[in-house]
Structure 1
Amino acid sequence: MKKYIYALLSIALFASCEDQLLDFPPQTQIEDNGIIISQSSAEKALVGVYSAVSGISGTAILTYETAADNVILNSLRTVVVPTLKSDGGVTGGADRTNGGGYGSYYSLINRANHVITAVNELDNSLFSAGSKEKILAEAHTLRAFAYFDLARTYANVPVILTPSTATNQLGIKKSPKADVFKQVESDLDIAEKNLAGGSWNVNKGRVSIWAVYAFKARLYLYQERWSEAESYASKLIDNPELKLTNLEAGDNWFETRFSSEGIFEVARSTTEGNPVRTNFATAAEGGLGDYIVNPDFADLLNNPNIGGKRSVYLKYDASVTAWLIKIYNKSDRSSSVFLYRLAEQYLIRAEARLKKATPDIQGAIADINKIKDRAGVPLLNAQGALNRDQLLLAVEDENRYEFAFEGHRYADIIRTGRAGVVFGTLNPVYQDPRYWVVPIPTSELKNDPDLEQNGDGVY
């Protein structure tokens, strides 16, 4: 039996045992000095992969929110869409994301690679029924999460599928973005096969078949595979165990852990708080107060005919004379980071229905209206004169309002090729498509001379 050393020892659990977010005993590192030799040690190694997801998920949200037009730096309120810089900064102020967390994604990938490689080599007799397949499904999905975010953030990136104890991956060239997405799909195909037939009795803080469906729907949207995006979104929409919350006290997706709307979320505890809250909360609340809501966007969310009940995502703080973000701001720091929820599936399906070879206009309107109805805003007239392009703009708007501070806006506008129009009016550099990709941090380029910077010379 081949033994694989898990390179990152002393991996802390990303949630306390009392929260029961992980079905593992309260041990914080791999047994036998880091060697994966059994189901138990493989499960503990998997905790380390989840721990990496827990950290990078907050960085991803900050990266996308910093780059887009929903939030602004509190210290420089006149800059709405900043120019990203390769030293990890932005125009006019510090970037708390450290350049988007490029290296952290590869740390996550390396952890997943260790688990995948080791578990595949272990004899099936060492696992209880279905456990080996489930561990592999989760590890493949979490690796796919990292590569998906890398591709939509940095475009072309190196693809590494074997474990390493090195601190960098010298000499590995970038793969085209399309090929990175193919690797994401390959990982998700394995996960879907391994989890097929799973019941709804799932922990929403762990990868499930439903999380894989949601991930695939989003991936196919990025790949412009409209029929498949529609099909996978429908799997979630048709699940009777999932339903939209009411956006009211006691029934909203961001205050209720594992709500009826949630599909997969990074649940936080009071001891290991939400990583985004630190940057969005004021100093009086124990945060840094780096970001506030763009006042123009706050006006939209507070408009009863546009944001409607989604104004609950905001709160006004007179001490800083600004609208602040409420969805991550539980006073005990235990707000989740939401990776997939049902509302996104309706808007994925609406866009896919509009863009497929034979558009389904009425189906798309029904999906858009499902989100509008929940928000309590006027519905689209199903018999009206809105054409396909106007409906696509309605999808874009609803994505902005519905996922206001969840890191969707920047990626959506880049994906649809509208950055020149949407962001270019606020920052002229975005009229140049070479800026439609986040620069690789200078520190990563110094560590690996073979790694080439993004942007064809603009960074």
Structure 2
Amino acid sequence: MKTIKYLLILLTLASALWGCKNELEEKVYDFYSPNNLYKTQEDAESAITGMYGYLHSWNFFKAPYLFGEDVDHDHVVGPQWIMSDMGAGNFNNYWGTSALWVGWYSLVSQSNITLEKVPGIKMASDSVKNRILGEAYFFRAWSYYNLTRLWGPVPLRLENVSSGAPIDLARAPVTEVYNQVIADLQKAEQLLPLRFSPNAGAAGKVNRGAAKTLLAKTYATMASSALNAEQLTVRGKTYTKDVVKGYESLDSKALYTKARDKALEVIQGGEFNLMPTFMQVWGRANKNNPEMIWELQTQDNDTYGTLLQYYYSAPWYGGTSYQWMSAKLYDSYTAKDTRAVDGVFHQYYMYGAWMLYPERDTTLYKSVSGGFTAKFYPAYSHPFTKKYWLGASTEIGATGTTVRAGNRDCDFPLLRYADLLLIYAEAENEINGPTQAAYAQLNKIRERSKLAAASGLNKQEFRSLVFEERGKELYQEVNRRHDLIRWGVYLQVMNDLGTDENVIKTRSDKNLLFPIPQDEINSNKLIGVNNPGW
């Protein structure tokens, strides 16, 4: 295939540290220009491929998608120099906040161009054209789903300025944005092929199941946000839920019914399933397994590699000490829970010494292969996740920390079947209480983790258990902040923490939404003032 040319907004780091001040620089690197292309099927395929490739830019997986969304919650901590901006609620101090806005709207723009140009292109078959259009509808829906969750009301651009749309555009209400997300996903699920269809395209392409899954998550987000005065227990304390601003007019039960039914379509479709063990979900050898509904595809190079192993894994295993699981989260796992027993590094080498975690299991983890002894060091022993460790023997030791320790061939779960099962259990409980059907899906997650099947709970207890299981199962998969917010307990939970392991968790109303980039406010005369407090 000919070389793909596309427009990328590339962030140039002013320092080797990801948190330092950055500048935006435009380069011809990613998306197709609408003026001289979109004439052939190959043009259309290349344009869609460019959208997947753009996820590897500095607007997404090189940093902002992870550090912009997944450090602002109660389950992650790290050194102050890493956590002092987004991790401490100082969203406007982090360059990635604006980069994410640019990234999502770049995907919207490319989707709009594709939806405008592709219908007029002659292709080998309608199935190919339908898939390309389905992918464009999906990407636009996914972009607005994230934009409205992060910024609330946002400009709803369904045509580009190059096609005659106005530069200045007011922000659309949250409900209007979600209506468009739903409409686009409904079109996507009609047009996209099944996962193993001959026309499904390469691994990592979105498929009909991905559209249905995102639609179920969209309905559940709207439904939970609209609930009022329900109670949720987090770490032993019961909170009374607030309605999320902008969702007041929504019918929670009707939306939960749609979430449950759409999730059930995926479950009954048989294309996806849980892997037998938790650790079989992860690692280079387990790419694109049946649990991964949509997975970011990576390569072992700086262009299409991710920094997941580098950011999250333990030192000595290709990782740094950038961030780790909070002790409170680790302590919430039971002694037999394989997500902690197998899914966390219990020994690693750092600063000339072998370290272990947790201290209470010193007898279990003190002996290291080779005759070494590991110890617990309060300042340096932490629970690092194994999710994003590549898992090969060649990644262990000095080679893993000095050679190819940056961008690696480490995929990321954008939509995972375990998430969908928990969405089903949540929705069924909110509609009918903890029925046998709700227990069945929840217990699939628990039993795989070597936990006893849940039973005998009331509606509030079941809701709280599902919320707890989401936190344990989906740690560092860009879900926790959104779960706290859609359940209306973000401020309560974070402020009860105050400071956790020297990380400031105190938040105010302004932290419910990200600040709109000043460049957007300056250039869009109708966007109005920034989000409250920014």
Normalised by the shorter chain, which TM-score bucket?
0.7 to 0.9
Write the mapping of 1:212-223 to structure 2, written as runs, cut at 5 A: 212-223=211-222
Counterpart AA for 1:38? T
The residue that corresponds to 2:42 in the other structure is 40
Equivalent position SS for 1:339: strand
The question of whether the paired residues in 2 share the 8 Å contact of 1:435 and 1:455 is answered with no
The residue that corresponds to 2:357 in the other structure is none
* Residue 419 of structure 2 corresponds to residue 344 of structure 1: yes
The residue that corresponds to 1:163 in the other structure is 160
Flag structure 1 segments of 5+ consecutive residues without an equivalent.
Answer: 1-5, 13-26, 90-95
Counterpart AA for 2:312? F
The residue that corresponds to 1:129 in the other structure is 126
* Matches of 1:329 and 1:442, distance apart in 2: 37
The residue that corresponds to 1:23 in the other structure is none
The question of whether the paired residues in 1 share the 8 Å contact of 2:312 and 2:323 is answered with yes
Equivalent position SS for 1:425: helix
Equivalent position SS for 1:238: helix
The residue that corresponds to 2:281 in the other structure is 252
The question of whether the paired residues in 1 share the 8 Å contact of 2:339 and 2:473 is answered with no
Equivalent position SS for 2:422: helix
* Matches of 1:112 and 1:104, distance apart in 2: 12
The question of whether the paired residues in 2 share the 8 Å contact of 1:63 and 1:99 is answered with no
* Matches of 1:283 and 1:310, distance apart in 2: 18
Counterpart AA for 1:114? I
Write the mapping of 1:96-107 to structure 2, written as runs, cut at 5 A: 97-99=96-98, 101-107=100-106
Equivalent position SS for 1:87: helix
**1:337 Cα deviation from its structure 2 partner:** 1.2
Identity level (%) = 22
The question of whether the paired residues in 1 share the 8 Å contact of 2:169 and 2:526 is answered with yes
Equivalent position SS for 1:36: coil
Provide closer, same or farther for how the CA distance between residues 88 and 112 of structure 1 changes in structure 2, counting only shifts above 3 A.
farther
* Residue 468 of structure 2 corresponds to residue 397 of structure 1: yes
Counterpart AA for 1:104? G
**1:172 Cα deviation from its structure 2 partner:** 1.3
**1:200 Cα deviation from its structure 2 partner:** 5.2
**1:7 Cα deviation from its structure 2 partner:** 9.6
Provide closer, same or farther for how the CA distance between residues 88 and 101 of structure 1 changes in structure 2, counting only shifts above 3 A.
farther
Counterpart AA for 2:127? G
**1:9 Cα deviation from its structure 2 partner:** 4.7
Per-residue CA shift, 1:413-442, capped at 9, x if unaligned? 100111133222124986754432222244
Counterpart AA for 2:65? A
* Matches of 1:198 and 1:377, distance apart in 2: 31
* Matches of 1:29 and 1:439, distance apart in 2: 26
Equivalent position SS for 2:69: helix
TM-score (norm 1): 0.81
**1:347 Cα deviation from its structure 2 partner:** 0.5
Equivalent position SS for 1:245: coil
Provide closer, same or farther for how the CA distance between residues 379 and 254 of structure 1 changes in structure 2, counting only shifts above 3 A.
farther
Provide closer, same or farther for how the CA distance between residues 329 and 99 of structure 1 changes in structure 2, counting only shifts above 3 A.
farther
* Matches of 1:294 and 1:169, distance apart in 2: 46
The residue that corresponds to 2:189 in the other structure is 192
**1:180 Cα deviation from its structure 2 partner:** 0.9
Write the mapping of 1:264-413 to structure 2, written as runs, cut at 5 A: 264-271=294-301, 272-281=304-313, 289-301=321-333, 303-305=334-336, 307-316=337-346, 317-319=348-350, 320-330=380-390, 331=395, 333-356=408-431, 358-381=432-455, 384=456, 386-413=457-484
* Matches of 1:340 and 1:448, distance apart in 2: 33
Provide closer, same or farther for how the CA distance between residues 453 and 273 of structure 1 changes in structure 2, counting only shifts above 3 A.
farther
* Matches of 2:218 and 2:151, distance apart in 1: 16
The residue that corresponds to 1:62 in the other structure is 67
Per-residue CA shift, 1:251-299, capped at 9, x if unaligned? 3345410012111111111122124444335786666643222222233
Q: Which has the larger displacement, 440-449 or 225-234?
A: 440-449
* Matches of 1:28 and 1:398, distance apart in 2: 38
Per-residue CA shift, 1:349-372, capped at 9, x if unaligned? 11101112x335332222211110
The question of whether the paired residues in 1 share the 8 Å contact of 2:145 and 2:181 is answered with yes
Provide closer, same or farther for how the CA distance between residues 76 and 186 of structure 1 changes in structure 2, counting only shifts above 3 A.
same
Equivalent position SS for 1:64: coil
The residue that corresponds to 1:227 in the other structure is 257
Per-residue CA shift, 1:173-224, capped at 9, x if unaligned? 1111111111111111111222367755645500111111111111111122
Match of 2:52 among 50, 53, 69: 50
* Matches of 1:312 and 1:200, distance apart in 2: 35
Provide closer, same or farther for how the CA distance between residues 157 and 235 of structure 1 changes in structure 2, counting only shifts above 3 A.
same
Q: If each structure's strand is expressed as a fraction of its own residues, which one has the higher value?
A: 2
* Matches of 1:197 and 1:209, distance apart in 2: 5
* Residue 511 of structure 2 corresponds to residue 435 of structure 1: yes
**1:341 Cα deviation from its structure 2 partner:** 1.4
Q: Which has the larger displacement, 32-41 or 442-451?
A: 442-451
Equivalent position SS for 2:157: coil
**1:159 Cα deviation from its structure 2 partner:** 0.9
The question of whether the paired residues in 2 share the 8 Å contact of 1:48 and 1:111 is answered with no
* Matches of 1:80 and 1:371, distance apart in 2: 34
The question of whether the paired residues in 1 share the 8 Å contact of 2:318 and 2:389 is answered with no
The question of whether the paired residues in 1 share the 8 Å contact of 2:6 and 2:31 is answered with no
Counterpart AA for 1:338? P
Counterpart AA for 1:293? M
Flag structure 2 segments of 5+ consecutive residues without an equivalent.
Answer: 11-28, 224-254, 351-379, 396-403, 500-504
Q: Which has the larger displacement, 419-428 or 63-72?
A: 419-428
Write the mapping of 1:177-188 to structure 2, written as runs, cut at 5 A: 177-188=174-185
The question of whether the paired residues in 1 share the 8 Å contact of 2:516 and 2:531 is answered with no
Counterpart AA for 2:157? I
* Residue 90 of structure 2 corresponds to residue 85 of structure 1: yes
**1:444 Cα deviation from its structure 2 partner:** 4.1
Match of 1:140 among 128, 137, 140: 137
Write the mapping of 1:67-78 to structure 2, written as runs, cut at 5 A: 67-75=72-80
Counterpart AA for 2:40? S
Equivalent pairs, count: 423
Write the mapping of 1:406-425 to structure 2, written as runs, cut at 5 A: 406-425=477-496
Equivalent position SS for 1:265: strand
